[in-house]
């Protein structure tokens, strides 16, 4: 028995470590390759710009976001470069304050979606048989609903609380991420190092999260970028529909809703948050696209695999 154990340690565990190290270098390689695309660099630049705007903007805001500085829907003037909104708040100040929520909530929702989706996907991919079928068919039910409809349905049942919105958006991502995770895990779980870990008697969660997960990071990276794009759109849409922050909070999605009726007299209050949300989603989408291309080995800016 002791002889067998000795053989196992030297022959099976060590290759697994080697394999893991190779995989890690692989996703670093993918990041490196992705950075080679212009689209990725543009995407990162946009994302970094919006991130900085959201994080540092409040420090440069000329007014408090809740201060009344002029008559409603007044146009640009000396004290209000971009005019004021429907109630007399400075548009520039609210724009500078309003990015934190969209970005913060979207990132939080995406992380929640990732954690849930990866967990379900790994379990289904590893367990296979009836558990795989059960988990995936249940997720398919959720997948049948358009994301916004699913989120609105749950929020209308449970109430429009901010934490709930984040959770629901994350939950709506979970089935999609689970499918990707499962597909990637199916191939990995059949590798020798996983079987070796099983033979060593490692507990299943450890196998899933320390053996399988590190080896499916690359597709998950792409998926994270893609889901972040959807999260931004969903969170902004929910704010627009009045399910997000409460007035008088500054939030880009809320700003669009509050000011849309005055778009013909004071377009900045709508055009600016719309543009920023659009640019942000383009940025995250470009990053995801670049990562995706690097993952499947596309080396050119356009076209299929070379």
Partner 1 sequence: MSDEIETRARKAARRSLTRRDFLKGVGATGAGLAFGPLLASCGGEESTTTSTAAQGGGGGPKTGGSLKVGIVGGSAKDTLDPHLATTEPDIALNTQLYDSLMGWDQDYVLKNRLAEEVSANPEATVWTVRLRPDLSWHDGKPVTSDDVVYTFQRIVDPANPLSGAASLGGLKPENVIKVDERTVEFRLDIPNAILTEGFAYRQNMLIPVGFDPTKPVGCGPFKLGEFKPGQQATFSPFDGFWEDGPYVADLTIIEFADEAARVNAFLSDTVHMISQLPRAQVTVVEGSAGHKVLRASTGAWQPFTMRIDEKPYSDVRVRQAFRLIVDRQQMLEQAYSGYGWVANDMYSPFDPGFPKDLPQREQDLEKAKSLLKEAGYADLTVELVTSDAVGGSAVSAAQVFAEQAKGAGVTVNLNKVDPGVFYGDQYLTWPFAQDFWYTRNYLAQAAAGTLPTAPYNETHWKDEEWQKLVEEAYRTPDDAKRNELVAAAATIEYERGGLIVWAFNDQIDAYNEKIGGVKPDKSGTPLTGFRFHKVHFA
| Residue for token pair 């190779």 | 22
Q: In angstroms, what is the minimal distance from the CB of 159 to partner 1?
A: 9
3-state secondary structure 172-235: HHHHHHHHHHHHHHHHHCCCHHHHHHHHCCCCHHHHHHHHHHHHHHHHHHHHHHHHHHHHHHHH
Shortest distance (Å) from residue 89 CB to partner 1: 9
From the CB of 64, what's the least distance to partner 1, in Å? Answer: 9
Q: Which residues bind partner 1 (CB under 8 A)?
A: 66-68, 71-73, 86-88, 160, 242, 246-248, 260-262, 264-266
Of 150, 164, 298, the closest CA to residue 230 belongs to 150
Closest CB to partner 1 among 177 and 269? 269
Burial class (CB in 10 A: 0-12, 13-18, 19+), 38: exposed
Find the shortest distance in angstroms from Cβ 247 to partner 1: 5
Is 67 or 299 the residue whose CB approaches partner 1 more closely? Answer: 67
Check whether the bond before 248 is cis (ω within 30° of 0). yes
What is the smallest separation between the CB atom of 109 and partner 1, expressed in angstroms?
Answer: 22
Q: Considering the complex, state which of residue 12 and residue 249 has its C-beta at the smaller distance from partner 1.
A: 249
User: Do residues 194 and 216 touch, judged by C-beta distance below 8 A?
Assistant: no
Q: Judged by CB, which is closer to partner 1: 20, or 88?
A: 88
User: CA-to-CA distance for 182 and 97, rounded, in angstroms?
Assistant: 39
By C-beta, is 86 or 145 nearer to partner 1? Answer: 86
């Amino acid at each position: 028995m002791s002889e067998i154990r000795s053989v196992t340690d030297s022959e099976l565990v060590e290759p697994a470590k080697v394999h893991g190290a190779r995989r890690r270098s692989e996703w670093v390689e993918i990041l490196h390759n992705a950075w080679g695309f212009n689209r990725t660099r543009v995407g990162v630049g946009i994302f970094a710009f919006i991130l900085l705007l959201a994080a540092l903007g409040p420090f440069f805001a000329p007014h408090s976001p809740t201060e009344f500085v002029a008559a409603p829907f007044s146009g640009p003037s000396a004290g209000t470069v971009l005019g004021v909104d429907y109630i007399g708040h400075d548009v520039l100040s609210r724009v500078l304050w309003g990015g934190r929520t969209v970005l913060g909530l979207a990132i939080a929702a995406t992380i929640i979606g990732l954690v849930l989706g990866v967990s379900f996907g790994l379990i289904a991919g590893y367990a296979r048989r009836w558990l795989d079928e059960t988990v995936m068919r249940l997720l398919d039910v959720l997948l049948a609903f358009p994301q916004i409809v699913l989120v609105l349905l749950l929020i209308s049942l449970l109430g429009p609380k901010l934490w709930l919105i984040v959770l629901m958006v994350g939950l709506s991502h979970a089935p999609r991420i689970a499918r990707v995770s499962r597909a990637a895990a199916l191939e990995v779980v059949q590798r020798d190092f996983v079987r070796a870990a099983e033979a060593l008697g490692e507990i299943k969660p450890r196998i899933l999260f320390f053996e399988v997960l590190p080896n499916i990071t690359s597709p998950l990276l792409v998926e994270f970028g893609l889901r972040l794009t959807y999260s931004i759109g969903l969170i902004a849409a929910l704010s627009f529909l009045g399910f997000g922050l409460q007035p008088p909070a500054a939030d880009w999605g809320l700003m669009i809703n509050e000011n849309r009726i005055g778009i013909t007299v004071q377009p900045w209050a709508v055009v600016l948050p719309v543009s920023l949300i659009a640019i942000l989603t383009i940025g995250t989408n470009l990053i995801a696209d670049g990562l995706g291309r690097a993952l499947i080995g596309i080396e050119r800016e356009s076209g299929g695999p070379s």
